[in-house]
Amino acid sequence: MAKQVIARLGIKRDPNYMYFVKGTTVYRVHRKTKGVRKYPHQKVASFSHERDNNYVYYVDKNGDVGRASRAKPGRRKKAAKKTKAKRATTKRATRATSPASKRRKVARKAPARKARKAPAKKRGKRGRKSTGTSKFFKEMGSRLKR
C-alpha cells in the first residue's frame, strides 16, 4: 500500500476528537463516551485536490491529509489460490519421484476411537429402586434350595 501526503495542513490534533476527510474537507467529531449525547461534527480545514475513488483519504499524525491505495475486493483470495496451486504441484512432483513414496503407500490404520460411556441403568418407576418383588423372589429361592 503506497502512502502519499496530499495536503500539508498541520492540524493540531486533540485526543478527545476523531478526525476524518469527507470530500475535500477535514472534519472532527467528539469521541463517543458512555452516557454522553452525540456531538455534531465540526469543519476544521479544507484543501483543494481532485479525489480518486481508488484511494482512501485520512488525516495522519502530523495533521496532514494523506491517501493510501484502497483494497480491491477478491484480491487476497485470488493470491491465496495461486500460492496453494503452486505448492500442490511442487509437492506432487517431489513425492512421485522419490523412492520413499513407494514405502508410504502401505495402508495405515485409522486412529482408534474413544469408547463411549455406557448409558445409566434405568431404575424402577418414578426413579426409585423397587424392593418389594425382589425380596419375595429371594425368599422363594432360598426356600426352594432347602
pLDDT score at 102:
59
Model confidence pLDDT, tens digit, residues 110-129: 777 777 888 887 766 665 55
pLDDT score at 119:
81
Q: Would you say residue 10 lies in a domain?
A: yes
Q: Would you say residue 118 lies in a domain?
A: no
Average pLDDT, the chain: 77
Q: Would you say residue 32 lies in a domain?
A: yes
pLDDT score at 26:
92
pLDDT score at 33:
79
Phi, psi of 130 (to 5 degrees): -85, 125
For residue 120 the three cell numbers come to 445409566
Q: Which residues contact 24 (CB under 8 A, 6 or more apart)?
A: 46, 47, 48, 49, 51
Domain residues for the domain of 17 are 3-69
Model confidence pLDDT, tens digit, residues 59-82: 988 889 999 988 877 777 767 777
Q: What is this structure's pTM? A: 0.46
pLDDT score at 43:
92
Domains: count for the chain: 1
CA distance 65 to 81: 36
CA distance 136 to 130: 12
Q: Would you say residue 65 lies in a domain?
A: yes
Q: Would you say residue 61 lies in a domain?
A: yes
Q: Would you say residue 140 lies in a domain?
A: no
Q: Would you say residue 104 lies in a domain?
A: no
Query: Apex CA 82: angle with CA 78 and CA 87, to 5°?
Result: 150
pLDDT score at 73:
79
Whose grid coordinates read 517431489? 94
Assign 27 a pLDDT band (cuts: 50, 70, 90).
Answer: very high
Q: Would you say residue 117 lies in a domain?
A: no
100-118: average pLDDT: 71
